Amino acid sequence: MNMRISEAAKKTGLSASNIRFYEKKKLLVAGREQQNEYRDYTDQDIECLKRIVVLRKAGLSIEEIRDIFDEKADVKTVLGEQQQKLQSQLQDLQGSLELCASLEREGDLLHMDADRYLDYVTEQEKKGTRFAEFKDSISEFAEFIDNATLFHTLDPILGKYFYLGKYLWLAVLIVFAMVLIFEVATRRSGIAVALLIGLWFLAMFCDYMRWRRRKHDSFD
């Protein structure tokens, strides 16, 4: 029995965008009607999507699931490594849970002795207790730069100095930003240049947001 993406979404609990995302990542290949290019999903596709949901709920990455489906990875090995990762995360959460309980007993967080708690965290970390790590927007953007295709286009030219590529591109970004500010501030006739640079920055921002959305992919 073949069905459209809306029905496949209902049967799996996934959104249509999630299903398209998994297709794009080659976790499944849906058939298409020759007349209108609509996707057609079979019962086997639905079962495949359900397996993806189960494995994603277990915390496996898209790459790990694809390797399992393609029989490029041993299932027991992947699941064993995942259990180790989850155990490590549980240890991280344990330290944070105890800290939360201590802060709750404190009551007045606006006037708490932050140094005392930081000393507590430091001492606990020396004993092997781990606390949840956090990333701010700057560090996340730095990760985007490390992964974005644009910032690696100079790798073949730079050879063993490939790591300099992202810094060169960052320098270009800074120069573009300065030119944009100058063009707008002086209201020169080069408004077209400013517009092009602005559009380029907008494209970069959209690329960053797409990367961030893929990274934090959920089942909403």
pLDDT at 51 over 90: yes
- 145 in any annotated domain: yes
For residues 100 and 150, state if they share a domain: no
pLDDT at 219 over 50: no
Give the mean model confidence (pLDDT) for residues 11-37: 79
For residues 60 and 103, state if they share a domain: no
For residues 179 and 114, state if they share a domain: no
89-129 pLDDT, tens digit each: 888 788 888 888 888 888 777 778 888 888 988 888 888 88
In CATH, what number is assigned to the domain containing residue 35? Answer: 1.10.1660.10
Are 36 and 5 in contact, with CB atoms under 8 Å apart? Answer: no
DSSP 150: G
pLDDT at 80 over 90: yes
- 105 in any annotated domain: yes
pLDDT at 73 over 60: yes
pLDDT at 220 over 50: no
pLDDT of res. 49: 93
Q: Among 21, 43, 69, which residue terminates a domain?
A: 69
Q: Among 69, 86, 110, which residue terminates a domain?
A: 69
Q: Which residue has the tokens 């573009």?
A: 176
- 14 in any annotated domain: yes
**Residue 144 to residue 34: CA distance in whole angstroms:** 38
**Residue 214 to residue 154: CA distance in whole angstroms:** 25
Mean pLDDT (the chain) is 76
Helix (H) / strand (E) containing 204: helix 191-215
Phi and psi of 112, rounded to 5°? -70, 160
Length of the chain: 220
Q: Among 21, 42, 69, which residue terminates a domain?
A: 69
Domain count, the chain: 3
For residues 60 and 39, state if they share a domain: yes
- 132 in any annotated domain: no
- Which residues span the domain enclosing 55? 5-69
Tokens coding 128: 């092997």
Are 21 and 217 in contact, with CB atoms under 8 Å apart? Answer: yes
For residues 46 and 113, state if they share a domain: no
- 133 in any annotated domain: no
* Helices (runs of H) and strands (runs of E) counted in the chain: 10, 2
pLDDT of res. 78: 93
**Residue 151 to residue 166: CA distance in whole angstroms:** 5
- 100 in any annotated domain: yes
**Residue 24 to residue 127: CA distance in whole angstroms:** 45
Helix (H) / strand (E) containing 39: strand 39-40
- 61 in any annotated domain: yes
Q: Give percent of the chain above pLDDT 90.
A: 23
pLDDT of res. 88: 84
More confident residue, 20 or 214: 20
Q: How far apart are the first and last CA of the chain?
A: 26
For residues 145 and 186, state if they share a domain: yes
For residues 156 and 118, state if they share a domain: no
